[in-house]
Amino acid sequence: MDTPETKAPDAVLPALHALRCVGAAGTARLHEVTGLDESDLTSELIDLGAAGLVTRFPGNPPCWLLTDAGRAADAEQIAHELDSAGARGAVEVAFGRFLVLNPELLDLCGAWQLRDVGGVVSANDHRDPAYDARILDRFADLDRRLAPVCAELSAALSRFGRYRIRLAGALDRAAAGELEYVTDDLASYHTVWAELHEDLLATLGKQR
C-alpha cells in the first residue's frame, strides 16, 4: 500500500497541503479545493491519519486537521517541490504582485459588507442592486488584474491552477445572484483569496 512514508519526498500530498491552506475541512470541502474525488481523498486522509500527520475531528460533518508533524511534513514537501521545479523566483515575484492587490481585495470586501449612507456606515442590506453591481464590477476588475499572477503561479507549479477556477467560479455565482459567494460562503471569493494567500506564505515558508 502506498503510505505517506513510502512516497517520494517530492510528491506534495494534495489532501495534506489542502489542509495546510484551508485549515480544518471535511472531504466535501477538500474536493472543492483540490478537485479530487472524495473517495481518493478519504483514502489519503486515512493513510495520513495512520502516519500521525492529520487528526479527525468529530462533528457533523467530521473534519480533518493537520497535526504539528503534518505541518512539518507538508513544509518539507512543498519546499522540495518548489526548489526541484526551480520555481522559487517565479513564486516570489508573483507573491509580490499578489501583495499589491491584497489590500484592494479587503477594501472591496469591506465595501460589499458595509455601506456609507449619509455618513452612517451600516451593513449592506443588498437592496440597492446598482450599488452591488458597482462593487461586483470592481471585483471583476481586480480579478482581471489577478489573472496574470495566477497564470504565472500555475506555470511555475501546476497545483496553483485550482485557484483560478475557484475564484472565477465564485465571481460567476455572485454575478448570477448568489451573493454569499462574495464574502460569506466557504467557497466565496474572499475565502478562496485568503487560501491563496495562505498557500503562497506556506509555499515560500514565510510568516504573515
Partner 1 sequence: MRWIRALSAELDEGADMDALGGKALGLALLHRLGLRVPAGFVVTTEACRAFLRDGCLPDGLRDELAAAVSGLELATGRSFGGPRQPLAVSVRSGAGVSMPGMMSTILNLGLTTGATAGLAAETGDRAFAEDSRQRLLSSLAATTTDDAPVPDDADRQLVLAIEAVFSSWDAPRARTYRAVHDIPHDLGTAAIVQSMVFGNRDAHSGTGVAFSRDPNTGANIPYGEVLFGHQGEDVVSGASATSPLRALADREPAVWTELHGALRRIEGHYRDACYVEFTYQSGELWLLQVRPGRFVGGAAVRLATELVDERVISRHEALRRVSTEHLRHVRTPRIASYEETRVLARGVGACPGVATGRVATTPDRAVRMARDAPVVLVRPETSPHDMHGLATAAGIVTARGGPASHAAVVARAMGKPAVVGAAGLTFDPGTGAVTADGLSLDDGTFVTVDGSSGEVALGRPRIVADPAGDHLNRLLAWADEVSGDHSERSESQRLAAAHAALASRGTAPPTRGANRPWSGTHSKRRRPAGSA
**Residues engaged in binding partner 1 (CB under 8 A):** 21-24, 57, 59, 63, 65, 100-101, 103-104, 106-111, 113-114, 116-123, 134-135, 137-138, 141-142, 145, 183-184, 186, 188, 190-191, 194-195, 197-198, 208
Taking the mean position of all CA atoms in its chain, how far away is CA 4?
Answer: 23
User: Measured from the CB of residue 25, what is the shortest distance to partner 1 in angstroms?
Assistant: 8
Which lies closer to partner 1 via its Cβ, residue 83 or residue 137?
Answer: 137
- Cell numbers found for residue 133: 453591481
Which lies closer to partner 1 via its Cβ, residue 77 or residue 139?
Answer: 139
Which lies closer to partner 1 via its Cβ, residue 11 or residue 100?
Answer: 100
3 state DSSP class of 116: strand
User: Measured from the CB of residue 60, what is the shortest distance to partner 1 in angstroms?
Assistant: 13
What's the number of CA atoms in the CB half-sphere (13 Å) around residue 168? 9
Which lies closer to partner 1 via its Cβ, residue 88 or residue 138?
Answer: 138
- Cell numbers found for residue 130: 446598482
* Identity at 176, one-letter amino acid code: A
Q: Name the nearest CA neighbour of 113 among 135, 84, 144, 129.
A: 135
CA dihedral 186, 67, 78, 201 (to 10 degrees): 50
Which lies closer to partner 1 via its Cβ, residue 4 or residue 193?
Answer: 193
User: Measured from the CB of residue 22, what is the shortest distance to partner 1 in angstroms?
Assistant: 5
User: Measured from the CB of residue 62, what is the shortest distance to partner 1 in angstroms?
Assistant: 12
What's the number of CA atoms in the CB half-sphere (13 Å) around residue 144? 5
User: Measured from the CB of residue 36, what is the shortest distance to partner 1 in angstroms?
Assistant: 19
Q: Are the C-beta atoms of 53 and 66 separated by less than 8 Å?
A: yes
